[in-house]
Structure 1
């Protein structure tokens, strides 16, 4: 498995991976159209402390993770998705992606990372908590942090 920064990779494959996990696997009421950021990765994510990473096994896209810089030392963790067959501690895909994101955040002096998530991603909630994220009330999430209308749980990791 190797992790790379997005650099003109196949956007259709990224959209397919993410929306299949969201809508087919977990039944989340969303669509590719509700996520235009996936078709504008450099403009939306790759500035300041932000970036967008892809995990590959050979040529197969197996995971994604994004960090969006919203200013003032605050970022938003977004688009953390790993194909089902590649999940779990033994595979290390999610851990590798998270380590990459946290290293980037620290190197850029980020003070806090927020995220919103849906209630059905139970394993993801545990993973975020093991990665140092603490659940917070929606009212604690800065307005600058983009959230999806399906988000119902919110987390923050401070440095």
Structure 2
């Protein structure tokens, strides 16, 4: 594999578990000061059951050296809707198209699976993420517009919807 090649996006495999944790947890803890551990995130402990069921999915961005440098998950919440969760890109791969490839993969999968709406929650601190989502067609919505089936996280204060 060409070491300068951009990361490839592919479905999560159980062997990726350690690499997924190595991307997500440091970003949560160090960059955003969220006091959360890998063990506190049951969805990460059971990715195949939590994400890769129904119309859901979970993908990783794998660098040429085999390391995981990005993640994105889609949780089927019923009624033609799904929740985008766990979108993280390692700092060394921000701005190189990795985030866009992750999102494009998720959206293509959602459309092919017959989903009509993708929802997401994020914290007020993730300003670059807000800009990214808005640039890619997500519209901010009020908390009251979320369906009861939406898996809201305690840290989420800002919510978005993408109509497919």
Please, what TM-score do these two structures have when normalized by structure 2? Answer: 0.92
Match of 1:106 in 2: 111
The question of 1:115 aligning with 2:120 is answered yes
- Once the two structures are superposed, the pairs formed by residues 18-97 of structure 1 within 5 Å of their partners are 18-58=24-64, 59-88=66-95, 91-97=96-102
Deviations 1:87-129 (A, max 9, x none): 01xx100000000000001101111111100111111000001
Match of 2:20 in 1: 14
Q: Once superposed, which parts of structure 1, at least 4 consecutive aligned residues long, lie more than 6 Å away?
A: none
Contact conserved, 2:121 with 2:153, CA < 8 A, in 1?
Answer: yes
Query: Where does the alignment leave 5 or more consecutive residues of structure 1 unmatched?
Result: none
Query: Where does the alignment leave 5 or more consecutive residues of structure 2 unmatched?
Result: 1-6
Question: What is the rounded CA distance, in whole Å, between the counterparts of 1:35 and 1:8 in structure 2?
Answer: 16
Q: Identify the range of structure 1 (25-34 vs 149-158) with the bigger mean alpha-carbon deviation.
A: 25-34
Contact conserved, 1:70 with 1:76, CA < 8 A, in 2?
Answer: yes
Contact conserved, 2:80 with 2:114, CA < 8 A, in 1?
Answer: yes
Contact conserved, 1:29 with 1:150, CA < 8 A, in 2?
Answer: no
How many equivalent residue pairs? 157
